[in-house]
């Protein structure tokens, strides 16, 4: 049994014809050993693997996760591994189900573990001891517990508190209003996400050249996916995160981040202005800047051919 994701065009074709073109993928075996350190999670494992293998390290392949560390993970933790293999180009993922405690909603159903055949062959094998793996993200963690972080990569970071504007002109301005900002922000976002076109325009407005989306099917698909995810996002968590980010100044923490740090920013970013990123790099002891002159808020989409290899090389 194999599950793969398809886009809307492929889905329509399958519904109409009952058929889809599919090539049996080669397999890559990832063996996870050791135990998770406090503050390290399955997402750190997959981010480390992406840095190790590269963004095309498993293109159109099936990534198979196993090993004693996998068998200690919850269902949610194993889903994180499976979901994020797309970040290295994989077609699908297979995760060892042994030792899994199923949620109550699935109790009473009959399940069987599907294990690889004895003597199964793989295109490649990766053995990873997660005992020494530190967290792969977060400036705050890098400053507070530098021993857990090896390298830092920041894309379009929010660095300095956003000035308050009254009357508010955008949702970001509403979120900064005292007392009523977050409730009103949730109402504004709830209204926006009910309309697919308004969701799409919200993302397009953050691009330096929205007109280029029409000629780039890949970017168009990613923006549509982001728009769809906005429709199902947790409103309270989203507004709390955004309001906190806009009020927080990370510069005082930067001198306590000794790790090599790469800061990526678009010069035409109207959401998190490049000036903040420049100030951050100036106080990072080992910071360097990748400044993209004709890019907006999504450099990993607008200039993916330049940004993604640079981030992978930095984190490797």
For residues 165-188, average pLDDT: 73
Q: Looking at the predicted structure, is the pLDDT value of residue 207 above 70?
A: yes
- At 262 the pLDDT is 92
Compute the distance between CA of residue 297 and CA of residue 153 in angstroms, rounded to an integer: 15
List pLDDT tens digits, range 13-64: 888 898 888 888 999 999 999 988 766 788 888 877 876 787 778 899 999 9
Q: What percent of the chain has pLDDT over 90?
A: 16
pTM score > 0.75 for this model? Answer: no
- At 164 the pLDDT is 66
Return all residues near 278 (Cβ < 8 A) that are at least 6 apart.
265, 289, 291
Residues 96 and 71 sit within 8 Å (Cβ to Cβ) = yes
Q: Looking at the predicted structure, is the pLDDT value of residue 229 above 90?
A: no
- At 108 the pLDDT is 72
Domains of the chain by start residue, with CATH: 8-99+113-132 (3.30.499.10), 139-160+249-315 (3.40.50.1820), 171-244 (no CATH)
Angle at 302 between CA 296 and CA 303, to 5 degrees: 110
- At 36 the pLDDT is 81
List pLDDT tens digits, range 232-248: 766 676 677 677 666 66
Lowest mean pLDDT among 119-128, 202-211, 273-282: 202-211
């Amino acid at each position: 049994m194999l599950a793969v994701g398809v886009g809307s065009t492929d889905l329509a074709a399958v519904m109409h014809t009952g058929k889809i073109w599919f090539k049996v993928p080669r397999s890559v075996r990832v063996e996870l050993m050791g135990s998770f350190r406090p503050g390290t999670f399955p997402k750190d494992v997959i981010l480390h693997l992406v840095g190790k293998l590269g963004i095309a390290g498993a293109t159109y392949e099936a990534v198979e996760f196993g090993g004693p560390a996998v068998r200690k993970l919850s269902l949610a933790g194993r889903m994180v591994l499976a979901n994020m293999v797309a970040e290295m180009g994989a077609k699908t993922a297979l995760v060892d189900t042994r030792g899994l405690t199923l949620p109550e909603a699935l109790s009473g159903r009959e399940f069987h573990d599907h294990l690889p055949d004895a003597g199964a062959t793989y295109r490649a094998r990766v053995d990873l001891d997660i005992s020494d793996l530190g967290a792969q993200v977060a400036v705050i963690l890098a400053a507070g517990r530098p021993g857990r972080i090896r390298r830092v990569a920041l894309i379009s970071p929010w660095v300095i508190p956003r000035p308050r504007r009254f009357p508010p002109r955008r949702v970001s301005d509403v979120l900064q209003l005292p007392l009523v900002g977050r409730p009103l922000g949730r109402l504004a976002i709830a209204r926006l996400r009910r309309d697919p076109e308004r969701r799409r325009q919200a993302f397009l407005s953050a691009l330096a050249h929205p007109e280029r989306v029409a000629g780039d099917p890949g970017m168009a698909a990613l923006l549509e996916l982001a728009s769809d995810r906005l429709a199902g996002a947790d409103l309270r968590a989203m507004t709390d995160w955004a309001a906190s980010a806009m009020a927080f100044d990370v510069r005082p923490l930067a001198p306590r981040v000794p790790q090599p740090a790469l800061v990526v920013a678009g010069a035409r970013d109207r959401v998190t202005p490049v000036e903040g990123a420049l100030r951050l790099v100036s106080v990072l002891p080992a910071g360097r800047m990748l400044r993209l002159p004709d890019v907006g808020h999504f450099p990993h989409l607008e200039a993916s051919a330049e940004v993604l290899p640079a981030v992978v090389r930095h984190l490797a």
